[in-house]
A and B are shown apart, each in its own frame.
Chain A
Amino acid sequence: MLTCGIDIGSRTIEIVIYESETAKILECCITDTGSTPTDNVQIHLNSLMEPLGIEYEDLTNTVVTGYGRKSFPLPGKIVTEITCHARGIAHLYPDAKTVIDIGGQDSKVIGLESDGRVRDFAMNDRCAAGTGRFLEMASEILEVPLEKMGSIAIAAKKRVEINSMCTVFAESEIVGLISKGHPKDEILLGVMESVTKRIVGLTGRVGIQESVVLTGGVAKNIGVVRTLEQEIGTRLIIPEQPQITGALGAALLAVE
């Protein structure tokens, strides 16, 4: 059967079309949420279905997750991103016991049972510290592209500490550091560590058990990956496509 998983996040939307017989992702996409998520979802869903020659009715089930899950206009089941991420990771990495998801505007740590069910979870979603938003701010203010930030940061010899936890105040602080002549790579390392500090706080509440998988767009940032590995003391597994694990999990739940 064909199922669909849709993760409508605050910054990005991911869609996965999954075939259960072959256990394959037939089509997937990542796009910006923008200001009209409902329209964007439909447009991109259509663009995924077209090359497969199917209509929405040909999908057996759809599961919708993420921040905008309740605004999806077509028939589908609503499940939170916690359950979906857990399901997606359990499928990709059956030995995973901990999932760390760092998204655009929130971050979460999910503890898994040995059979992949959710054991416990902790979220930070009332504050942009420790999320992609913090990194986006730093990228803008330091004029370094997001995809280059991580490798520049880990090459730094030392770091400059960022004291502000708040993304808004950290921006002012970074401007100050630049004007004092601190090198960008050192500031960037400080930025990575700020994000890591917030995540470590969340992991304390759930507990780290190996193996630990890092998902979400921020998992593509090698700077965060390395500093986080150092802080929690274990290697992090990064999926090939870390942004779609929520949508994948949704599509898998749609099979059940």
Chain B
Amino acid sequence: MHEHDKMWEDLGLDVQLHHRLMESIGKNYQDTVLTQKNRPEGMFYFDGVIHASHGDRVKELINAKENGEKIAGTFCIYVPEEIAMAVDVIPLPLCGGTNFSVPYAEKLLPRDICPLVKSTLGLAFSKTCPYAPIKDMAVGETTCDAKKKTWEILAGKVKFHVMEVPQKKEDPDRDVWLEEVKNFMHQMEALAEKKVTLDRLKESIDVMNRKRKALQDFSNLRASEWPPISGLDALVVYQSMLNDEHVRFTEKLEDLNEELKQRISQGVSPFSEGLKRIMVSGCPSVMGNWKLHHIIESSGGIVVADETCTGSRYFENLVADSAKSLDGLIQAIADRYMKVNCSCFTPNNERIEDVRNKVDMYRIDGVVQYILQYCHTYNIEAIRVESALKQKGVPHLKIETDYSGEDRGQISTRVEAFLEQMQGNSKG
């Protein structure tokens, strides 16, 4: 019996299966994140966010709905959160990171598609996603093939709005994107039965900018010469940013940042000095997926930067808030979100440049490109990223994998060999 059994039952979930899902995720967390030593005290809160994601957070969202707020499920960081927030719609990322639910998606969907899409769909199909029944609608986007075509299937059961994210970043594409952002606004207004006002939009831009700023500070602090926090814990913070209430998350992160500054000044770190500094670049590791970071940091490396959706791409670039008109702010929002460098864009040279810059900025010893299986855009773009890194003389490793635990040994061997390769080079 679990304290939230009644809530889950009332939501129409398969409670027994949900228990097994929670056990599976809980064990995974115990075997990875919770095996770490000398963690900052502030991580206690973020462990709590992960723990509460299917329990207390759901309760909180149900209460919010009772107070008149609405919930829009999302699957991509291109969806402009500020606009939803301005009419009291809570944008709720629904991406799945657990392998447990994948087989349930494979009952319907092809096996050879992105594990993130399968995990997400599997949670819905198996009635173990508590957000599915409480959301008022879902917002999809045309970023990648697997997602784009899956929305068509889900739209049969759920109120769905799909934003068209352009393929390129030329002027005509920016016009399309601005129209899509405005359409999204109308959808949110219709859902909430309210209009977006200048004041409310300014408010929500402030909330999100403050959150982004705290995350930017965090990212700089974690990448200190002697990192005060592990990359695996940083990932937990990044996963929390996609689930927690924005203001509370920001306040707790600002507290953690203060603690990290203290740790830096006192030379407190979970790691010995001189370990290799790794940047993870590419696909996201959403809540439930701690595999890669755990392997890298158990093999003697430190992840000091994440160029992913569960990393820099979420919080880089603030929204310019100087405009005096609603239209001006909407344009500023569209501009900010267009700066996200997902591989679904072509030619995406901005991302290649970004990876090169981050190598310098964070004094990176080696880059691990993280590619989810069947993610063709990141997998093929990886070739050009590798080429750019080779030119710069930066060691590089590509890991292509899914959510299962079956290849932990193989990934460990590659990561260990990669770290040995870097050690050898620094000796020579």
Q: Which residues from chain A sit less than 8 Å from chain B, CB to CB?
A: 67, 79-83, 115, 117-119, 121, 123, 125-126
Chain A residues with CB below 8 A from B416, complex form: 79-80
Chain B residues with CB below 8 A from A119, complex form: 421
Q: Would you give 24 A-B contacts (Cβ < 8 Å), ordered by A?
A: A79-B420, A80-B416, A80-B420, A81-B413, A82-B413, A82-B417, A82-B420, A83-B420, A83-B421, A83-B424, A115-B428, A117-B424, A117-B425, A117-B428, A118-B417, A118-B420, A118-B421, A119-B421, A121-B417, A121-B421, A123-B413, A123-B414, A126-B407, A126-B410
Q: Which residues from chain B sit less than 8 Å from chain A, CB to CB?
A: 407, 409-410, 413-414, 416-417, 420-421, 424-425, 428
Selected from B410, B421, B424, B428, the residue in CB contact (under 8 A) with A125 is B410
Chain A residues with CB below 8 A from B425, complex form: 117
Chain A residues with CB below 8 A from B428, complex form: 115, 117
Residue of chain B at shortest CB distance from A205: B398
Chain B residues with CB below 8 A from A82, complex form: 413, 417, 420-421
Q: Which 3 pairs, one residue from A and one from B, show the smallest C-beta to C-beta distance?
A: A82-B417, A80-B417, A83-B420
> For the complex, what is the distance from the CA of A191 to the CA of B406, rounded to whole Å?
28
- Chain B's nearest CB lies how many Å from the CB of A192? 26
Selected from A80, A115, A117, A118, the residue in CB contact (under 8 A) with B413 is A80
> For the complex, what is the distance from the CA of A80 to the CA of B409, rounded to whole Å?
11
Residue of chain B at shortest CB distance from A82: B417
> For the complex, what is the distance from the CA of A115 to the CA of B417, rounded to whole Å?
17
B424 touches A123 (CB 8 A): no
> For the complex, what is the distance from the CA of A85 to the CA of B417, rounded to whole Å?
11
Residue of chain B at shortest CB distance from A125: B410
Chain A residues with CB below 8 A from B410, complex form: 123, 125-126
Give 15 A-B pairs besides A117-B421, A117-B425, A118-B421 with Cβ atoms closer than 8 angstroms.
A67-B409, A80-B417, A81-B417, A82-B421, A83-B417, A83-B421, A83-B424, A115-B428, A118-B417, A119-B421, A121-B414, A121-B417, A121-B421, A123-B413, A123-B414
- Chain A's nearest CB lies how many Å from the CB of B304? 22
Chain A residues with CB below 8 A from B421, complex form: 82-83, 117-119, 121
Chain B residues with CB below 8 A from A79, complex form: 416, 420
Chain A residues with CB below 8 A from B414, complex form: 121, 123
> For the complex, what is the distance from the CA of A237 to the CA of B425, rounded to whole Å?
26
Residue of chain A at shortest CB distance from B414: A123
B409 touches A118 (CB 8 A): no
- Chain A's nearest CB lies how many Å from the CB of B280? 19
- Chain B's nearest CB lies how many Å from the CB of A133? 15
Chain B residues with CB below 8 A from A121, complex form: 414, 417, 421
> For the complex, what is the distance from the CA of A121 to the CA of B410, rounded to whole Å?
13
Chain A residues with CB below 8 A from B420, complex form: 79-80, 82-83, 118
A118 touches B407 (CB 8 A): no
Chain A residues with CB below 8 A from B409, complex form: 67
Between B407, B414, B421, B428, the greatest number of chain A beta carbons within 10 A of the residue's beta carbon is seen for B421
Chain B residues with CB below 8 A from A81, complex form: 413, 417
- Chain B's nearest CB lies how many Å from the CB of A207? 11
> For the complex, what is the distance from the CA of A125 to the CA of B409, rounded to whole Å?
10
- Chain B's nearest CB lies how many Å from the CB of A131? 13
Chain A residues with CB below 8 A from B424, complex form: 83, 117-118
> For the complex, what is the distance from the CA of A119 to the CA of B416, rounded to whole Å?
14
> For the complex, what is the distance from the CA of A81 to the CA of B409, rounded to whole Å?
13
Residue of chain B at shortest CB distance from A110: B417
> For the complex, what is the distance from the CA of A21 to the CA of B414, rounded to whole Å?
33
Chain A residues with CB below 8 A from B413, complex form: 80-82, 123, 125
> For the complex, what is the distance from the CA of A83 to the CA of B424, rounded to whole Å?
9
> For the complex, what is the distance from the CA of A123 to the CA of B400, rounded to whole Å?
12
- Chain B's nearest CB lies how many Å from the CB of A165? 15
> For the complex, what is the distance from the CA of A169 to the CA of B425, rounded to whole Å?
42
Residue of chain A at shortest CB distance from B299: A80
Between B407, B417, B425, the greatest number of chain A beta carbons within 10 A of the residue's beta carbon is seen for B417
Chain B residues with CB below 8 A from A80, complex form: 413, 416-417, 420
- Chain A's nearest CB lies how many Å from the CB of B382? 11
Residue of chain B at shortest CB distance from A115: B428
> For the complex, what is the distance from the CA of A126 to the CA of B373, rounded to whole Å?
13
> For the complex, what is the distance from the CA of A119 to the CA of B420, rounded to whole Å?
11
Chain B residues with CB below 8 A from A117, complex form: 421, 424-425, 428
- Chain A's nearest CB lies how many Å from the CB of B173? 34
Residue of chain B at shortest CB distance from A67: B409
> For the complex, what is the distance from the CA of A14 to the CA of B7, rounded to whole Å?
58
Chain B residues with CB below 8 A from A126, complex form: 407, 410
> For the complex, what is the distance from the CA of A125 to the CA of B425, rounded to whole Å?
25
> For the complex, what is the distance from the CA of A67 to the CA of B414, rounded to whole Å?
12
> For the complex, what is the distance from the CA of A123 to the CA of B424, rounded to whole Å?
19
Residue of chain B at shortest CB distance from A79: B420
> For the complex, what is the distance from the CA of A80 to the CA of B423, rounded to whole Å?
13
Between A80, A81, A119, A123, the greatest number of chain B beta carbons within 10 A of the residue's beta carbon is seen for A80
- Chain B's nearest CB lies how many Å from the CB of A118? 5
> For the complex, what is the distance from the CA of A121 to the CA of B413, rounded to whole Å?
11
Chain A residues with CB below 8 A from B417, complex form: 80-83, 118, 121
> For the complex, what is the distance from the CA of A119 to the CA of B410, rounded to whole Å?
19
> For the complex, what is the distance from the CA of A118 to the CA of B420, rounded to whole Å?
9
> For the complex, what is the distance from the CA of A228 to the CA of B100, rounded to whole Å?
42
> For the complex, what is the distance from the CA of A126 to the CA of B425, rounded to whole Å?
28
Residue of chain B at shortest CB distance from A87: B424
Chain B residues with CB below 8 A from A67, complex form: 409
Chain B residues with CB below 8 A from A115, complex form: 428
Residue of chain A at shortest CB distance from B406: A126
> For the complex, what is the distance from the CA of A129 to the CA of B189, rounded to whole Å?
56
> For the complex, what is the distance from the CA of A118 to the CA of B407, rounded to whole Å?
23
Chain B residues with CB below 8 A from A118, complex form: 417, 420-421, 424
> For the complex, what is the distance from the CA of A47 to the CA of B428, rounded to whole Å?
37
Residue of chain B at shortest CB distance from A121: B417
